[in-house]
Amino acid sequence: MKKYSVILSVLLIGLLSFSLIGCSSNSGSGAGGGSVSAGNTSGGSSEGAGGSGDAGNTDGAGTTKEPLRFMAATVGGEWYPIAVAISEGWKGLGIESTVLPGGGASNVLGLSQNQGDVGFTFSVTAVDGTAGNAPFEKPLDGYRALLCLNASYVQPVVYANSGINSIEDLRGKRINVYTKGYTSELNARLVLKTYGLTYDDMSAVNYLSDDDAIDQLKDGHLDCTISTGGIPDSGFIDMASVRSIRVLGMTPDKLAEATELNDGLYPTFIPAGTYGIPEDVNVLGTRLMLIVRTEIPEETVYNLVKGVHENLNSLYHVNSNLEEVTIETMAADCGIEYHPGAIKYYQEQGVI
C-alpha cells in the first residue's frame, strides 16, 4: 500500500503544480538541470516509485529507516543520472533513497508540502519559493539549502552580424525564451525588465525548444534566444559553427539591479573564447542546488552532504559541468538558509 500511496501522492502534486503554475523551472539548454515541468510526473524511479511520508525517520545514527524521497527529474532529464549517482553515494552511509520524477519548481512545491525529502532546483527558484514570487502564488516554507552544484548562466545569444549589440537593441525583435514558467523564461523576463523592456516591446515572443530555437536562428526566422544553462552550451556551439555569435552582456549597474530582485542570482561572466567570443561577457548566474526538507534530522542531513562530498569523482564522470564542484562551491551562498546539518558539515570542513 505504501508504494501505491506514494505514486498517488506524486501524481497529485504534479496535478496541483500544473494547475498552479503550468510548468516548472528549467535550464533552457546546457547542463543547468534539464527541461522539467512542475506538472510532469511521467518519469520513473531508480528504485521504483516507493517511499513513505515518514522517510525522514532515522535510527539515531544519521541513517534512515525508510528511503528518502528524492525529487529529481524525468528519466530522460539531465538531472536524473546525477540523482542516481548521488543516491549511490548515500547508500555507503546507510541512507537509502528513491529517485522520483520532478522539476525545479515542482520540487520546491513538493518539499514544502512534504511530498519529498530532497530535491533538485535552481537557487533563483528556491528564492522565488520562499518569497512567493512567480511562478508561486504565495511564500513557501519547509525546505532549506543542502548544497550547491554547478553554475548556470543567463545567456542572451544572437548572431554577430544581426545588428543587435545590446539588450536594449532587442526592442522590436523576435526572441525565444523557452517554455513558459521555466527558469529560462522567468530569467528572460527579469533581464528584459532591468532594461525597461517587456514582451509587449518585442515583435514576437517564442517558447521553443533548444533545437527548434537554434534552427530558427540559423534560418533567420528568430533574432535572439535567451537561455539559462551551463557553458559551453551545445546548441550555441552548433550556432557558432555556422557563423560568429554574440552573447549580449549586462552592464554592472543592471547586474546589480537584477541581483537585488532575487538573492538566488549573482553577477558572473562567460569567459573569452567560449563560442569564439573575443572577450569576457558579464551575465547573470544561478546555481543548480539540492534542497532538503526542514524536518529531516540534523545527523541525516550531515551525512547527505558528506555522501556527496566524498563521492564527487563519481559525479564528475556523470556530467562534465560538475567538475567545477568542490567543497567550497557546495557551501556557496544560494540565497536561502542552509539546514543546520549542512552547516555543521561545512563548519567541520572549514568552508564557512
Q: What are the angstrom distances between the C-alpha of 268 and each of 217, 281, 285?
A: 25, 8, 6
- Domain check: are 60 and 12 in the same one? yes
Q: Read off the pLDDT of residues 160-195 as tens digits, 9 standing for 90 and up.
A: 999 999 999 999 999 999 988 888 899 999 999 999
Residue 336, all three cell numbers: 536561502
pLDDT > 70: percent of the chain: 82
Q: Residue 140 contacts by C-beta under 8 Å, 6 or more apart in sequence?
A: 108, 109, 112, 129, 130, 132
Calpha distance 348→325 (Å, rounded): 18
Q: Is the pLDDT of residue 151 over 90?
A: yes
Compute the residue count for the chain: 352
Neighbours of 52 (CB within 10 A): 19
Question: What does the pLDDT read at residue 73?
Answer: 85
Average pLDDT on 149-154 reads 96
- Domain check: are 214 and 334 in the same one? no
Q: Are 59 and 14 in contact (CB under 8 A)?
A: no
pTM, to two decimals: 0.79
- Domain check: are 273 and 169 in the same one? yes
Question: What does the pLDDT read at residue 10?
Answer: 40
Domain boundary among 286, 321, 336: 286
- Domain check: are 139 and 182 in the same one? no
Handedness of CA 83, 84, 85, 89 (dihedral sign): positive
Question: What does the pLDDT read at residue 65?
Answer: 74
- Domain check: are 162 and 195 in the same one? yes
267 dihedral zone (left: phi>0; alpha: psi -120 to 50; beta): beta
- Among 162, 126, 173, smallest CA distance to 145 is for 126
pLDDT band at 8 (very low <50, low <70, confident <90, very high): very low
Calpha distance 286→151 (Å, rounded): 6
- Domain check: are 178 and 225 in the same one? yes
Average pLDDT on 309-319 reads 95
- Domain check: are 6 and 147 in the same one? yes
Q: Read off the pLDDT of residues 103-133 as tens digits, 9 standing for 90 and up.
A: 889 999 999 999 999 999 999 999 999 999 9
Range of the domain at 271: 152-286
> Which CATH number is 43's domain given?
3.40.190.10
What does the buried/exposed string (b/e) look like for 135-152 if buried means 16 or more CB atoms within 10 Å of the residue's CB? bbeeebebbbbbbbbbbb
Average pLDDT on 131-140 reads 94
Question: What does the pLDDT read at residue 182?
Answer: 82
Lowest mean pLDDT among 28-37, 159-168, 217-226: 28-37
- Domain check: are 280 and 158 in the same one? yes
Domain boundary among 270, 286, 302: 286
Domain boundary among 238, 256, 286: 286
Q: Report CA 180 to chain centroid distance, whole Å.
A: 15
Average pLDDT on 209-225 reads 95
Residue 314, all three cell numbers: 563519481
Q: Residue 24 contacts by C-beta under 8 Å, 6 or more apart in sequence?
A: 17, 36, 37, 38, 39, 40, 102, 103, 104, 105, 106, 107, 135, 181, 182
Calpha distance 47→103 (Å, rounded): 18
Q: Read off the pLDDT of residues 73-102 as tens digits, 9 standing for 90 and up.
A: 888 888 999 999 999 999 999 999 999 998
Question: What does the pLDDT read at residue 78?
Answer: 85
Q: Is the pLDDT of residue 15 over 50?
A: no
Q: Read off the pLDDT of residues 43-79 as tens digits, 9 standing for 90 and up.
A: 333 333 233 444 545 555 566 679 999 999 888 888 9
- Domain check: are 146 and 156 in the same one? no
- Domain check: are 325 and 230 in the same one? no
- Domain check: are 146 and 245 in the same one? no
> Helix (H) and strand (E) counts for the chain?
12, 10
- Domain check: are 13 and 127 in the same one? yes
Domain count, the chain: 2
Calpha distance 278→107 (Å, rounded): 38
